Amino acid sequence: MKSILVIGEILVEIMADQTDQSFLEAGSYTGPFASGAPAIFIDQAAKFQVPAAILSAVGDDDFGRLCLTRLAADGVNTNYIKTVQNRATGVAFVRYNSDGSRNFIYHIGNAACGQVTTEDLDGVKWEDLGVFHIMGSSIFTPEMFTLHREALNRIPRDCIISLDPNVRPEILKTSPDLNKLIKELLNKAEILFATEEEMTFLTGTDDVEAALTICFSKGLKAVIVKRGGKGASLFTEERRIDAPGLDVVEIDPTGAGDTFAGAFMAGYLKGWPLEECLTRANTAGASAVGKRGPMEGTIRLEEL
Ligand code: ATP
Ligand code: MG
């Protein structure tokens, strides 16, 4: 079977224990948890039994070893993860607010995961690729921008491109060209995952119908709108399929979108009908929020 590739950060996440806990004063935190949006995505894809790889880097430290061990145990191909000596593994601190919003402090651009270069692309077996998934939040420096540009030149002609803009205000600030690239990618992608806010960001309209029309005019085949606890809807030019929100206790919402997309693209690569891709992704997303830790809720096909 062809494989899925994603490029981006592997990091550990350290989570504030209390809602509305401030980053401005000392408090208690839980972690390290294996994390990184593309890492969660690929972990879930591997658990759905498709060949899945991530191009990334970790430091020669225990945080890096924690992530590598975890990904390998879940079946991710770790051949494209290099260990760099002069940088530490990436770290993200996250705190939750009572209005449901989150704040992150990322240590990524200057960490190991920011040290992947276009030379690392030479080691990739491009001919194996069936899906290249682009995680917008992984384009966090000009170098990551160049890396994604170059990867797009190397993927096989028939490789499916899926896009999750995964807009994080903290990252948009440090990567000024990101807006441009993500919008440009709409013309290349076959599958788009987005929240309603991201649809507006991408298309400039908050009218869902109008936004979808713009998406399809750019050549997208399916647009999946994620709605957190309310489930998700899939749109093609001809039809709409809804997956209702599953009744689960939300313990930690971080990583749900990445888990959802990983499950969906694994199914899509396997050739499952769209209904099945959506339903299973919806279940995987619900599983993700039920566990504390961003990657702890990824789920094996047999557990679904
Ligand atoms: P993130 O960027 O934090 O990974 P997201 O904002 O991209 O997440 P969400 O809409 O929060 O994505 O979640 C993705 C999918 O996961 C939803 O469409 C739904 O299928 C599932 N999901 C998320 N939260 C819940 C919940 N509370 N109950 C049931 N399912 C959920
Ligand atoms: Mg998201």
User: Helix H segments across the chain?
Assistant: 37-47, 62-73, 142-154, 169-172, 178-185, 196-203, 208-217, 256-270, 274-289
What does pLDDT average to over the chain? 95
Contact 285 CB / ligand 1 (< 6 Å) = yes
CA 255 to ligand 1: nearest atom? 4
Rounded to a whole number, what is the largest CA-CA distance in the chain?
A: 53
Query: For residue 187, which amino acid is it?
Result: N
Give the separation between CA 56 and CA 90, rounded to whole angstroms: 11
CATH superfamily membership of 3-288: Ribokinase (3.40.1190.20)
In this predicted model, what pLDDT tens digit does every residue of 100-148 receive, in sequence order? Answer: 889 999 999 999 999 999 999 999 999 999 999 999 989 888 889 899 9
Contact 162 CB / ligand 1 (< 6 Å) = no
Q: In the predicted model, is pLDDT for residue 74 greater than 90?
A: yes
Reference 42, options 83, 72, 2; nearest CA is 72
Tell me the pLDDT band of 184, cut-offs 50, 70 and 90: confident
Ligand 1, atom 15, lies closest to the CA of: 285
Listed by start position, the domains of the chain span: 3-288
For residue 105, report the phi and psi dihedrals to the nearest 5 degrees: -120, 115
Ligand 1, atom 27, lies closest to the CA of: 229
β-bridge partners, 133: 6, 162
In this predicted model, what pLDDT tens digit does every residue of 213-245 receive, in sequence order? Answer: 999 999 999 999 999 999 999 999 999 999 999
Q: What is the three-state SS of 53-90?
A: EEEEEEECCHHHHHHHHHHHHCCCECCCEEEECCCCCE
Reading the block at residue 81, the tokens are 């993860």
* pLDDT > 70 fraction of the chain, expressed in percent and rounded: 98
Mutate-to-test residue for ligand 1 from 103, 193, 226, 249, highest number of ligand atoms within 8 A of CB:
226
Nearest ligand, CA of residue 135?
Answer: 2
**Centroid of ligand 2 to alpha carbon of 225 (angstroms):** 11
Contact 130 CB / ligand 1 (< 6 Å) = no
Reading the block at residue 46, the tokens are 């591997």
Give the separation between CA 81 and CA 235, rounded to whole angstroms: 35
